[in-house]
A and B are shown apart, each in its own frame.
Chain A
């Protein structure tokens, strides 16, 4: 065990840094830039049963400290992910990968999770019950404790690998939803997905995003995400992947002090392709600066 290693649901990560789903594709764009095996793992692009194009463009709007996206789960569908993306990934990434799964019905979550559960390369299933950019399914399951528990139960019944439920911040009480996931058998939770947001173009006086609204991410969301991780940590025993506006090694340490076992990095990858590499390389310096011997010791340290 190295000083930066953490244990996420029974699988050791060499460090807690995990590029978040939707900002890292299936890995190759970044594998051309640096050796992505330096990452703890990464969560690949949200995968559904059928191939999806997603929403019309424009799908992106800039904000002062972040961006809004409304991609709408563009992905090649689970068949091609297994037949094409995973074999390609195997050549450049030699660690267990986190498989991000989305669905529009319980049956779809069950089918996609059970298919990916059989893949040797997959270490964890990250079950997205929080996509803000699709009308049915997606976030609606994650909006209530009952919906979140129903998906958790259904996927746990058909999988052997750890299931991490990805939660939306666009709810009244994220703690009750995290607890419902835990009670239904979830092995972990990841939070937060993006926050509902929008921008309006002053010239056209219309929303910038074709879908009108989208999910806001970036540095401005960090304090909100940190607060939610802090609250959820106090209420559940399962590990948390803390996500939201993380851009630096200091942010990683702060997120872990709030209660995260591992830390997702999302929007930062879109503006700085080397963001995750830079964070991993900078972590030892930051640990040293703040007198941290082992990262795993600080999880929830601020509680």
Chain B
């Protein structure tokens, strides 16, 4: 982990409520896709943990949904604003287990970390298929960005207004070598049940510190207690214990 000052390059809405923010600065603390950063916001006590969507040299892209006062304040930040950010948090996805035909399954604002992962897997010469799940056509973002990477992209909408009608699990292909997923917990559970191979899940939890000090985001796993912020957010399928 490193504490850095990053500068907002751009901050724009992709859909109603989902924003893309690009930040410039030292990104050397990040080593894997699926890691996250933790942003200090003026006027708010806790930092806001947000997964990294893309890393490109000195530029970081994050996508976030306005869900409360903190993210609402973030959405108003303009270019040039300097932010205090903890970088390089969490374990991230392990691409070494992907096999040749990895499947990426994302739901809503669980999709962003899969973009950086898709980019890394394509760079390793893998054939990537991405299933992007949304409630409705108006909420779709980053479909073209995934396609531009060279990934096969399947969109699913719950109301059938675009792509496959239904949930991401209704769009699962027959053959894939491994999977990576991130999204709301009901979706993760459905993927857990429907998936035919091993895979990696990225979890979300309310965090205090985001770097392992406070034990606020602990979960039980087959291999013992883990902190979502430190030993997570990515857990392997075989170690997950569904509690709730």
Residues of A within 8 A of B (CB): 22-25, 29-30, 32-33, 45, 53-54, 56-67, 69, 71, 74, 208, 218-219, 267, 269-274
**Is B158 an interface position by the 8 A CB rule?**
no
Residue in A65, A269, A274 whose CB lies within 8 Å of B45: A65
Cα A61 to Cα B68 with chains together (Å): 13
Number of B interface residues at 8 Å Cβ cutoff, please give it: 28
- The residue on B at minimum CB distance from A269 is B213
Task: Check A273 against B213 for contact (C-beta < 8 Å).
Answer: yes
Q: In the complex, A200→B209 CA distance in Å? A: 21
Contact A71 B215, CB 8 Å, known A66-B45, A271-B40: yes
A24 to B215, CA, bound (A): 10
CB within 8 A of A57: which of B44, B209, B217? B217
**In the complex where A67-B208, A74-B225, A271-B47 touch, is A30 in contact with B218 (Cβ < 8 A)?**
no
* A63/B218 in contact, CB under 8 A: no
Residues of B within 8 A of A (CB): 1, 3, 40, 44-47, 70, 86, 205-209, 211-220, 225, 230, 243-244
CB distance from B209 to the nearest CB of A (A): 4
Residues of B within 8 A of A69 (CB): 208, 214, 216
A30 and B209 alpha carbons, distance in the complex (Å): 12
B1 x A53 contact (CB < 8 A): no
Q: Is the pair B213, A271 in contact by a Cβ cutoff of 8 Å? A: no
Shortest Cβ distance from residue A50 to the other chain B in the assembled complex, whole angstroms: 13
* B interface majority secondary structure: loop
Inter-subunit contact A60/B207 (CB<8 Å): yes
How many angstroms between the C-alpha atoms of A272 and B208 in the bound complex? 11
Interface residues of A: mostly helix, strand, loop or mixed? loop
User: 12 A–B contact pairs at CB < 8 A?
Assistant: A23-B213, A29-B213, A56-B243, A56-B244, A60-B214, A60-B216, A61-B206, A62-B45, A62-B70, A67-B46, A269-B209, A271-B46
The answer to whether B205 touches A271 (Cβ under 8 A) is no
B218 / chain A contacts, CB cutoff of 8 Å: 53-54, 57, 59, 71, 74
Interface centre among B1, B45, B230 (most CB of A within 10 A): B45
| Interfacial chain B residues near A25, Cβ < 8 Å | 212-213, 215
Cβ–Cβ contact B214 & A271, under 8 A: no
User: In the complex, what residues of B have CB within 8 A of residue A45's CB?
Assistant: 215
CB-based nearest B residue for A24: B213
Q: Which residues of the other chain, A, contact B86 by a CB distance below 8 angstroms? A: 273
Q: How far is the CA of A218 from the CA of B46 in the complex (A)?
A: 10
A54 to B216, CA, bound (A): 10
Q: Do residues B205 and A57 form an inter-chain contact, with CB atoms below 8 A?
A: yes
Cα distance A30–B230 in the bound complex, in angstroms: 13
- A274: which B residues are within 8 A, CB to CB? 3
